[in-house]
Structure 1
Amino acid sequence: MPKFNDKWVVQPHGPLIELDRGLWTVEGEIVMPLGRFPRRMTVVALSDGRLLIWSPVPVDRATLQAIEAKGRIAFLIVPGIGHRLDIRAWASRFAKAQVLSPPGAREAVGEAVPVTATIDILGDPDVSFAAADGTDGKEGVLRVIRDGRLTLVVNDILANVRHPHGLGAKIMARLFGFGISRPRMPRPAKRMFVKDGRALAAQMRGWAADPALTRIVVSHGDVIEDDCAAVFERAAADFD
């Protein structure tokens, strides 16, 4: 069984940043030999005031207090197999929160904590959770609508690590294709999670065609807010 953090292990991270109404993010880092690799947690407020945490990352007291001030943490979403490291610590601290994962990741996430559901149980007209097409149910996607603006929160189907910190992080980002030159799907994720590349590419092109698309939030790297349609078109072309 993989190693999971049972305790609340805080690694370097930035502050809680507002991206849109009821949508925040925290950029963190995983300390590794010769560098720090970026990771990102996303916080979304539902219409009834409850919160969901996407790809939970332990944060310091001030940041956690800032999150809890936004609402009650009701859902913890583990968006993929590679994002289970800290879910035990979060589930322990927020025992009443329900844990969601995409269906293809349920068994793996279940090694860390019990999974409540693998379907959308959020009950919100403007926030929805589903598995990405073509990934055998292993990769989650979150749609967030705010005043007609669409934010897509994705996991390892797209990375945008443009500024890795340290030699080790730079080597890892370049070697495994974590989006140094442009946003793209990392090579290990493509190999491990993509069952039907054409189906995923078609979904990406569908997202690109949505005129409401405003922002893409990735689990690794910078938030994308410029020419999001072109980002998905180029990522889709990688499967042609």
Structure 2
Amino acid sequence: MPTTLAQWEVQPHDQLVEAGDGILTVAGEIRMPLGNFPRRMTVVRLRGGRTAIWSAIALGEPQMKRIEAMGEPSFLIVPGDHHRLDAKIWKMRYPQAKVIAPPGARKMVEEAVPVDATSDILDDPEVRFCIVPGMGQHEAFLHVHRADGVTLILNDIIGNVAHPHGIGANVMGRVFGFGVTGPQVPRPVRHGLEDKALVAARFRAWAAEPELRRIIVSHGDVLDDYPGDVLLKLAERLD
């Protein structure tokens, strides 16, 4: 599979579902050497009839129309070094959209598409683009605070591939620790952390938010059953 798609290519995906107030998410699959592996895109409504696209995935036209009905795709967020596969083709489809990536990931992301910003330019008081501490500025997250509570949209720092499809996904999920038996910090991510204590502290800070309702990750199912408890357990494992 190429690191960047050159034309609109729809790989297997489910339908968009509403995960929270003004938040759509969709589970898809990415072709890998050992078989397809789950991935996820999330769309967040912003004020002014705009949307932010987190970890873009090319969808079929009915689902793309649903995104456009929510608002104009104004920001393409590439949340880490390795989530750039569909970035170029989304930028081609929506040339007005600004590309945002974490500072540490900028070099790799720009192999696929020029980056317009490495900080928060969303201009929405309910949605914040932030950087996960302790990861060398390679990983971003979104903090969405709406009437229905707080939604955290994370990238690779937590995997929750509880329902892998096929032998390849099962093997990769288990070997690399992407949460087949429960939410995990994937092994490749854990081994690459610059400061585990900072990451653990961030997990605890998120868990302490009284309005935390759900965590959406880039690989696996949405965590909406006691997400704070999940974060505290993961923080303990990093200590």
TM over 0.5: yes
Cα distance change on mapping 1:148 and 1:21 into 2, 3 Å: closer
SS in 2 for 1:40: strand
1 CA distance for matches of 2:162 and 2:148?
29
What is aligned with 2:146? 146
Q: What letter corresponds to residue 52 of structure 1 in structure 2? A: A
Q: Give the TM-score, by structure 1 length.
A: 0.96
CA contact (8 A) 1:34 1:166 kept: no
Q: Output the CA distance in 2 between the equivalents of 1:148 and 1:226.
A: 15
Q: Provide the C-alpha distance between the structure 2 equivalents of 1:43 and 1:29, rounded to a whole number of angstroms.
A: 17
1:35·1:165 contact (CA, 8 Å) conserved in 2? no
1:234 maps to a residue whose letter is K
**Cα distance per residue 1:74-108 (max 9 Å; x no partner):** 00000001101111111111100000001110111
C-alpha separation between the residues in 2 aligned to 1:26 and 1:186? Answer: 21
The answer to whether the 8 A contact 1:160-1:179 is kept is: yes
Confirm or deny: 8 A CA contact 2:20 2:148 kept in the other structure: no
What is the Cα-based RMSD across aligned positions, in Å? 1.1
What CA distance in whole angstroms lies between the structure 2 residues aligned with 1:34 and 1:138?
Answer: 26
Q: Distance in 2 between matches of 1:49 and 1:19?
A: 19
What SS does structure 1 have at the residue aligned with 2:232?
helix
1:66 Cα shift? 0.8
The residue aligned with 1:238 is: 237
| Aligned residue in 2 for 1:199 | 198
Alpha-carbon separation, structure 1, partners of 2:182 and 2:68: 34
TM score, norm. by length of structure 2: 0.97
Q: Whole-Å Cα distance in 2 between the matches of residues 184 and 99 of structure 1?
A: 28
Report the Cα distance in structure 1 between the residues aligned to 2:45 and 2:100, rounded to whole angstroms. 16
Hey, what's the Cα distance between the residues in 2 that align with 1:36 and 1:228? 27
Contact 1:153/1:216, CA 8 A, preserved across alignment:
yes
Structure 2 SS opposite 1:230: helix
Other structure's SS at 1:74 match: strand
Distance in 2 of aligned mates of 1:28 and 1:120:
27
Amino acid paired to 2:150: L
CA distance in 2, matches of 1:3, 1:181: 29
Deviation of the 1:148 alpha carbon: 5.3
3-state SS of 1:238 partner = helix
Partner of 2:72: 72
> Could you tell me which residue of structure 2 aligns to residue 227 of structure 1?
226
Say whether residues 1:36 and 2:42 are aligned partners: no
TM-fit CA distance, 1:120: 0.3
Deviates more, 1:18-27 or 1:152-161: 18-27
Shift of 1:34: 5.8
In structure 2, C-alpha distance between the alignment counterparts of 1:82 and 1:179, rounded to whole Å: 18
% identity of equivalent residues:
50
Structure 1 residue runs without a partner (length 5+):
none
Moved more, 34-43 or 162-171: 34-43
The CA distance in 1 between the partners of 2:218 and 2:155, in whole Å, is: 5
CA distance in 2, matches of 1:114, 1:136: 21
